[in-house]
Structure 1
Amino acid sequence: MAERQGLRAERASHFTLQGAPFRILGGSIHYFRVPRAYWRDRLLKMRACGINTLSTYVPWNLHEPEKGLFNFKDNLDLEAFISLAWELELWVILRPGPYICAEVDLGGLPSWLLRDKDMTLRTTYPGFTSAVNSYFDKLIPRIAPLQFSNGGPIIAVQVENEYGSYSKDVEYMKYMKQAFLSRGITELLLTSDNREGLQCGGVDGVLRTINLQKISYGALQSLADIQPERPLLVMEYWSGWFDVWGDSHHIFPAEDMVAVVTKLLERGASINLYMFHGGTSFGFMTGAVDFGTYKPQISSYDYDAPLSECGDYTSKYHLLRNLLKSYNSDPLPEPPTLQSRQAYEAVLISQHMSLWDSLTYAEKPVKTEAPISMENLSVHNGNGQSYGYTLYETTIQSGGSLNSRNNVRDRALVFVDRTFIGVFDYRTQRVTLPAGKNARTLSLLVENCGRVNYGEALNAQQKGLVGDIILNNTPLKGFAVYCLDMMPSFLKGVHGGKWKSMTESPACPGFFKGILLVDGEPRDTFIKLPEWMKGVVFVNGHSLGRYWYIGPQKHLYLPAPWLKKGINQIIVFEEQKAAGRINFAENPEYGKVIDVSKHPFCTII
């Protein structure tokens, strides 16, 4: 039998696959950001656009949410996703990290790593490499059989991600390369870096690739100069950009995007569009950026990509398809029909439960003298808490000046005897408590708004209270700490608990329940909460993500596969101001827009 010749990068002009010239026309879709029922639809749309190669990240924090507890089922069935791509005649470039960035919490690294006080992420620190080894021992045996050499679609595997922009350990990338080779990865290995990281982000024997959005002077040439005998691959061609709360919705004009793609292809480069379809950062998946100011990212990962958040064709899609026709030897398949959508009738809130009443269904509180971070809470089999909210309660004997000393990560509602007093965040670090002579309960409801996913701050991403809270120059002591992670076990208790009717005065923070009746086959829709302030929405147990009145996102995507005929339960956790109804719309609302090419980070290359 003739040897299967996988992807090769041995010529300066082009890749080869099975010995024949091959150009990567790639696009990124993250399986974990798309409901599994829609995987086929999104991949078919990708193939119909002229894309021949799928790339996807693998999020360690989702696959090993607790140390030693692995999940490769349902929406995290990576093998099924790759196999489906193969069935639909798409090659695959796998990007398994362990660090992926991807605008997910801690760049895809599990937060339980941060319980080690000496942890230095993305280095050869033994505590980190030991955890990586354990994870790779579970992950790589699942993907190795799907390599091209074994008859599968995986033609390349990325080693780490954008390490040149971090570069804390000269031995780390050597370790990472060996971690793949020693576990049976035989396909082409590559690295991916911004222009300024090309020199120090690579490793010997591994193809270097570049990330960019606009063709600035010398960008591709810098890559060609580093490896003159290798083909050019833009591993991340940024088709749009992500959004953060309180900012505008970033767009990149379709004509500008296609003009750059055209130039890259004319230059002979291969390309991977990041993103081809962004999808949604459901639940508490979102990360944050911090280039001097902490900014959490929104739930939508629409990214202004060729396929919209809900899978619609955009002008980018049609222009791109028209361009890529000439780079495909066979006629392109017809694009699939779009899913229908519906603006359901508004749902009236029928019941509510205050946060304080819900504590009955939380884990038994942890008693601690000084504040501790959520990662160090002794719950969930000793792994601590990763996401959601944490409630800290202590007793105070007076009013006065309460100072967070910037030890709140990331936002806290302050209560005295369950009466709302104010908010702590990165900008507001002082709150005045009312005077009182008797002992009272001080409560701090702290939200992890998303760990930084890129940059120098990765090792400092503990959440909750990470240091002392000061009342009148004295550190507070004696806390009871509740884990309110909004995970299924907690929500199950809340759902089956004692709710009050809306005829009784509803209290915030609290949970608010309504019923959506679906007559006939469910359809995609968007939830809108114009009179609410900030919180999280759950539909039939699925977390749609966060909403926040500051925008830019003014909707939450609700995919039809998460609905059913008849009764659908909607639960809203609202922090500060609830309304009496939940609205629906056929289309999303992303708020005020700004051209992404004006974003300073996008112009550094």
Structure 2
Amino acid sequence: MSEREGLKANSGQFTLQDVPFRILGGSIHYFRVPRAYWRDRLLKMRACGINTVKAPVLLGLWVILRPGPYICAEWDLGGLPSWLLRDKDMRLRTTYSGFTNAVETYFDKLIPKVAQLQFSRGGPIIAFQVENEYGSYSKDKHYMTFIKEALLSRGISELLLTSDNREGLKCGGVEGALRTINLQKLSYGTMQYLANMQPEQPLLVMEYWSGWFDVWGEPHHVFQAKEMVNVVRELLEHGASINLYMFHGGTSFGFMSGAVDFGTYKPQISSYDYDAPLSECGDYTAKYHLLRNLLKIYQKEKLPEPPLPQSRKAYETVPVSHHIPLWESLQFTETPFKSLDPINMESLPVHKGNGQSYGYTLYETTITTGGTLNSRNNIRDRALVFVNMQFVGVLDYRSQELTLPERKVEQTLSLLVENLGRVNYGDALDYQRKGLVGDIALNHIPVKGFTVYSLDMTPSFLDRLKTGKWKTVSEIPTCPGFFQGNLTVHGHARDTFVKLLGWNKGVVFVNGHLLGRYWFIGPQHVLYLPAPFLKSGNNQVTVFEEQIAGGQIQFTTSPEYGRTLNVSSHPFCNLI
């Protein structure tokens, strides 16, 4: 096949096959959308006037691929694998050999697969992004060159791009790659600043933030539709190309939501709705319709009609029928590990030596006195503390001291430590080991001699747990514990949301699919349950509850994101 002329940035506008081309892009994360819904979401994007996405598919859409290895994306550790942190000297996103060796291995597997999908080879990929927002990190002046060369040496020949906010533009670029910018509001001559850096080059807003993400315990962020579309209109009128981040956010299923830490650690919720043009469950929003009316002006052909929305159903309330206490579930974990000193999750000798990545870790030891238990800020991120299986309090990044009951006999001290999500952005990236990361002290004396149980709640663990001795609800339920109920679906399954009114904090599984976390502090009050996770007939719903178990599992047709905050007035969005 003869080479086609790909995306070029040799003048004040992009060209594709030597024809002027404007990028009207939208971001979607395939890993946040059930596979069965990929086509639906992409068709909805195309019907809005989007011509470019970041997903290797052929639906009349071009692709800008962001191969990483770091992607940020409010994903645990910014998409990097936690086993990298088993190396105590690890320096992420640098040319430290322990990191570059891992990157080389990753690119050896990935790049040959995507290289054949390049535009020049008849595929949809018109550009590649070199890393992500490195200018805000910028810890190694040789790193971006390393990533660029790693791509080129493996056959990448399409246009290369970098992506940064205004503050990172100077440090985040690399020779041979077009700089692009990330923003939400037009202020302080931002676009002119980018233009001055690259005279006679096209302007691209790689991440135009259509909304914002949420963290536990704070309001749900919204960005007014008219305000958003007015900025998009102004950018287009001045000849810029644009990519909306996000066009469709989706859901951080499992334990994969990240966190931020700019002096205070803040874990992110499971919903990644982002107040985007397509909602978490794929619904059209006011932003979608306003954007479609705007973007159709820039189309040569009539836009296709938007696909019909997905139907939803509020299934009947499911009563909890059985439960099993945490303490009885430990027999189904991998072999417990004995350690004189505390050991972090990643360093546990589980999962073929790769350590524990997500979920909970239980640390148990014997004490012979009560008194003051101090975490010394070595708990990552939150621990339920028990003496002889009786709950005595919570230790986390805010509360670092507890009083244990005084008894001059041997007692079992247990700490159930949860990884609430690794930071995905900023200087704290290297310090995201979880569990007990150092000594805790009882009456100023370090506690020693731990038995450690890995509770990352993998599918294999859940399968083993099914064989346990589950108690009926007529008995008094014990928390923490696992609770089960059965949802009966008649006919074809439909999307729904799980609502746990009266419960406290934990995670929900449906037919083995981990939907994510729930926590009474909000803002998220329901969990999205897509129809592909259900089946006609009996569906098993399992809830792991930490403290207060409700007796019922409810369903609703609508998301509930709690009180809102207009993101345009929120100072944090200007930090990154």
Q: Same fold (TM over 0.5)?
A: yes
- Mark the CA change 1:604 to 1:511 in structure 2 (over 3 Å): closer, same or farther: closer
Is the 2:505–2:546 Cα contact (8 Å) retained in structure 1? Answer: yes
**Which one of 463, 487, 491 corresponds to residue 520 of structure 1?**
491
Deviations 1:18-68 (Å, cap 9, x if unpaired)? 110000000000000000000000000000000000025xxxxxxxxxxxx
Under a length normalisation based on structure 2, what TM-score does the superposition of the two structures give?
0.99
Residue in structure 2 matched with residue 8 of structure 1 by the alignment? 8
Query: Match for 1:211 among 158, 178, 182?
Result: 182
C-alpha separation in 1, matches of 2:420 and 2:54: 28
Match of 2:362 in 1: 391
Partner secondary structure for residue 39 of structure 2: helix
CA distance in 1, matches of 2:201, 2:2: 25
Aligned partner of 1:155 among 123, 126, 135: 126
The equivalent residue for 2:39 is 40
Quote the residue 1:63 is aligned against: none
Q: Which residue of 2 aligns with 1:95?
A: 66
Alpha-carbon separation, structure 1, partners of 2:325 and 2:164: 47
SS where residue 107 of structure 1 aligns?
Answer: helix
Structure 1 residues 420 and 225 mapped into 2: Cα distance closer, same or farther (>3 Å)? Answer: same
Counterpart residue identity of residue 531, structure 1: G
CA RMSD of aligned residues (A): 0.8
Partner of 1:197: 168
- Counterpart CA distance in 2 for 1:329 and 1:259 is 22
The match for 1:114 among 77, 85, 99 is 85
Residues 105 and 285, structure 1, Cα contact 8 Å, conserved in 2: yes
1:413 to 384, 389, 406: 384
**Superposed counterparts of 1:278-297, under 5 Å:** 278-297=249-268
Structure 1: which 5+ residue stretches go unaligned? Answer: 57-81
Q: What is the deviation of 1:491? A: 1.1
**Hey, what does 2:348 align to over in structure 1?**
377
- Structure 2 residue corresponding to 1:262, chosen from 207, 230, 233: 233
CA distance in 2, matches of 1:200, 1:134: 26
CA contact 2:3–2:121 (8 Å) conserved in 1? no
Question: 1: CA distance between counterparts of 2:467 and 2:2?
Answer: 62
- 1:327-371 deviation digits (Å, cap 9, x = unpaired): 010000000001110000100000000000000100111100000
Deviation track 1:213-250 (CA, whole Å, cap 9, x = no partner) reads 00012111111111112100000000000000000000
Aligned to 1:434: 405
Matched residue count = 576
The 8 Å contact of residues 374 and 442 in structure 2, kept in 1 or not, is answered as yes
C-alpha distance in 2, partners of 1:172/1:603? Answer: 26
The separation in 2 between residues aligned to 1:460 and 1:383, in whole angstroms, is 18
Q: How does 1:531-542 map to 2 (within 5 A)?
A: 531-542=502-513
Candidates 132, 144, 147, aligned match of 1:173: 144
Please point out which of 404, 412, 424 is paired with 1:453: 424
- 2 CA distance for matches of 1:210 and 1:287? 23
The one of 324, 330, 344 aligned to 2:315: 344
Contact 1:164–1:196 under 8 Å retained in 2: yes
Give the ranges of 4+ consecutive aligned residues of structure 1 lying more than 2 Å apart after TM superposition.
601-605
Structure 2 Cα separation of the partners of residues 601 and 134 of structure 1: 36
SS in 2 for 1:28: strand
Mapped partners of 1:143, 1:407: distance in 2: 42
Q: Kindly indicate whether residue 233 of structure 2 is the aligned counterpart of residue 234 of structure 1.
A: no
Q: Deviations over 1:113-148 (max 9, x none)?
A: 001011000000000000000011111111111110
How much has 1:2 moved relative to structure 2? 5.5
Query: What is residue 62 of structure 1 aligned with on the other side?
Result: none
Write the deviation string for residues 429-448 of structure 1: whole angstroms up to 9, x where unpaired: 00100011111100000000
Residues 597, 603 of structure 1: 8 Å contact kept: no
Between the two proteins, what is the percent identity of the paired residues?
73
Alignment equivalent of 1:315, drawn from 252, 273, 286: 286
Return the alpha-carbon distance in structure 2 between the equivalents of residues 481 and 599 of structure 1: 41
